Amino acid sequence: MTFESAPPTPLIQQAIALTPGDPCGIGPEIIARAWCLAPESTQGCFVAGDVGLMRRAMALVQAVQTFPVVEIQAPNEALNVPLRCLPVLQVVPVSPVLPWGCIDGRAGQLAGEAVLWATRAALRGELAGLVTAPLHKEALHAAGAPYNQYPGHTELLQAEAARHAGVTIEQMPVRMMLANNELRTVLVSIHVSLRDALDAITFERVLQTLAITDASLSKILGRRPRMAVAGVNPHAGEGGLFGREEIDILQPCLAAARQHGMDVHGPYAPDTVFMRARKQSDGRREFDVVIAMYHDQGLIPVKYMGVEQGVNVTLGLPLVRTSPDHGTAMDLAGKGVADASSMIQAIRMARQMVSGEH
């Protein structure tokens, strides 16, 4: 299908792909709803998935004007699709109609295939970036190889990027950043037990986290970020009374980072540093980002401020990837009530990173 009438998409030279996530979850619906609520943000984007699935998802959208779902034959056709259309590139076999809200290996396979296609296309330079709707880890595991070897999106993307570059996974380090309009946090470790997360707090890993964050946020902000490092222990160890990680690991690491020109501060008490990095009503903030030592330390503050506004950004990849900061919400799937706010924010963040707008 060829389109002639759409205005040019500003600042985006290539299309951004959205993957639908688990077809039994809310991913397809929040994508459809995002197109209806924020057409200016979705212009130049398309869904890499299944046409029939997206038509069923669009039929769920209530209380707003819905858009037609149109099939395209190549990614950059999305740049010329009329503003009020949802373009879909069929990159997986035609999907069976699966019940909303169920955990099914067939759904995990479709979700995984869409992500693999989009990741490989982005690595080949055929896409500007990708936005991924939520996967269901159990369904992904039930899909079997190769998807059952990945705990989630981040690990799959990292493995594909390493394979494309011809390096080991260890040579393709990535980090998770969670962000909303008020706060950004980057994690030293993600999906591991708390006991293992404490073992991951090493000089090398923390310094690597700082370097990845510094490089990635410099591109997003147009300047080097002012980074705050959260301590490991209560009161950041209180001079060694409550633990020595701050003295033995973090302080030497921060000194080394400063020698490389990084604007890094801390370690600070983890129960107050997030408040210091939160954007105030006048737009100012003391820090651009907090480096958190483990998963829940960093994610609880961001998610408490509103999951519906949070965006997950994978830092360190040779491609742009964002996603909503929530899961598949199987209990809401198929009811037409899913909130698309986080998806809209993820699309806007991807556009900002692709276009270089600050």
Name the residue ranges covered by the structural domains of the chain.
Answer: 1-174+317-358, 181-305
pLDDT on residue 307: 64
Q: The domain 181-305: what is its CATH number?
A: 3.40.718.10
pLDDT on residue 283: 82
| pLDDT surpassing 50 at residue 247 | yes
Angle between helices 153-165 and 105-123 (to 10 degrees): 40
| pLDDT surpassing 90 at residue 275 | yes
pLDDT on residue 352: 87
Our CA dihedral for 235, 239, 245, 250, rounded to 10 degrees, sits at: 90
Structure tokens that stand for 332 in this block: 């809401």
Looking at the DSSP bridge assignments, the partners of residue 282 are none
Q: pLDDT class for 156, splitting at 50, 70, 90?
A: very high
pLDDT on residue 213: 97
Instruction: Give the whole-angstrom CA distance, residue 129 versus residue 156.
Output: 15
| pLDDT surpassing 90 at residue 34 | yes
173 and 165 Cβ atoms separated by less than 8 Å: no
Q: pLDDT class for 6, splitting at 50, 70, 90?
A: very low
| pLDDT surpassing 80 at residue 357 | no
Q: pLDDT class for 356, splitting at 50, 70, 90?
A: low
Instruction: Give the whole-angstrom CA distance, residue 130 versus residue 185.
Output: 21
Looking at the DSSP bridge assignments, the partners of residue 71 are 88
Backbone angles phi and psi of 197, in degrees to 5: -65, -35
Give 161's Cβ-side CA count (13 Å radius). Answer: 21
| pLDDT surpassing 90 at residue 358 | no
On average, the pLDDT of the chain sits at 91
Note if the pTM is more than 0.85. yes
User: What ranges make up the beta strands (E) of 261-320?
Assistant: 263-268, 289-292, 311-315
Structure tokens that stand for 192 in this block: 């591991």
Q: The domain 1-174+317-358: what is its CATH number?
A: 3.40.718.10
Mean pLDDT across the stretch 89-107? 95
Q: pLDDT class for 278, splitting at 50, 70, 90?
A: very high
Strand order in the sheet with 175-179: 69-72, 86-90, 45-49, 16-19, 129-132, 321-324, 311-315, 175-179, 184-187, 289-292, 226-230, 263-268
101 and 24 Cβ atoms separated by less than 8 Å: yes
- Which of these ranges, 67-76, 145-154, 284-293, has the smallest mean pLDDT? 145-154
| Residue 179 CB partners (closer than 8 Å, separation 6+) | 185, 302, 310, 311, 313, 349
